[in-house]
Amino acid sequence: MYRETNIRSITKGFSWRLFATTTTVIIVYVFFGRLDLAIAAGVIETISKVLLYYAHEKIWQRVRWGKKQIEPFNLWFTGLPMSGKSTIGDLVFEKLKKYQIPMERIDSKDIRDLIPDIGYSREDRNRHMHRIGHLIKTLQNNSISTVASFVSPYRESRKAIREMVKNNVVVYVKADIEICKARDYKGVYVKALAGELQNFSGVNDVYEEPQHAEIIIDTEILSAEEAANVIVQYLKKHYIKI
């Protein structure tokens, strides 16, 4: 969460006193009929109340009672290539911003751009998932939640992620492979079917469906916006609670 800065507290104090002091000046003038006395009372009240308000705010910042820390969580999107993981993940990330939760967005494409020599064999993918797990764990140690989207086709790698991180929420973005092919604006399914891409999940390599996903999104039924709302509601119920 964000910490209230000194300048923000002072500005809030002045903004509130602007309204309150105007009321005081009017009341004093109505009762005594003296503008000089009304203005003097307003100035004295403004200075004293701003200082008292600032002190009051700083004292309450030190009081832990009534505060509840949001435990970091990991939202893990998995599904076939072109199932809609990244699209829904981006929408969820944007919707969660209004809760001012420290968060990071992690997408498989961004990671592979940073580390281009990652292979696609089962061993390579599992090793890669362990790297991602360590990254998420490090972020969580700094109270940062994550929204991650990876094909992550193997159950053992998803299990490893679950064991490595806290509050892991698996979102299975379910889509028929024919629908994924229809969404294939990159042409990767065409290349995989032609044998140009090996170890491609759903074509020449397996995709093992999650058996214990916390959320299942059927993209034949829900739009990306509707799916994002379902996921945010789940997080509000189980993790955010503010």
Residues involved in catalysis: 152
What would the two tokens of residue 159 be? 């299990």
Q: What is the DSSP string of 163-177?
A: HHSSSEEEEEEE--H
3-state DSSP helix/strand/coil % of the chain, to nearest 5: 55, 10, 35
Q: Which of 119, 76, 128, 129 is nearest to 235 (CA)?
A: 76
- Torsional class of 189: left (φ above 0), alpha (ψ -120 to 50), beta (otherwise): alpha
DSSP letters spanning 76-133: EEE-STTSSHHHHHHHHHHHHGGGT--EEEEEHHHHHHHSTT---SHHHHHHHHHHHH
Residue type, position 233, single letter: Q
From the list 91, 105, 76, 109, the residue with the least C-alpha distance to 224 is 91
What is the CB neighbour count within 10 angstroms for residue 233? Answer: 12
Q: Going edge to edge, which strands form the sheet with 74-78?
A: 103-107, 145-149, 74-78, 168-174, 215-218
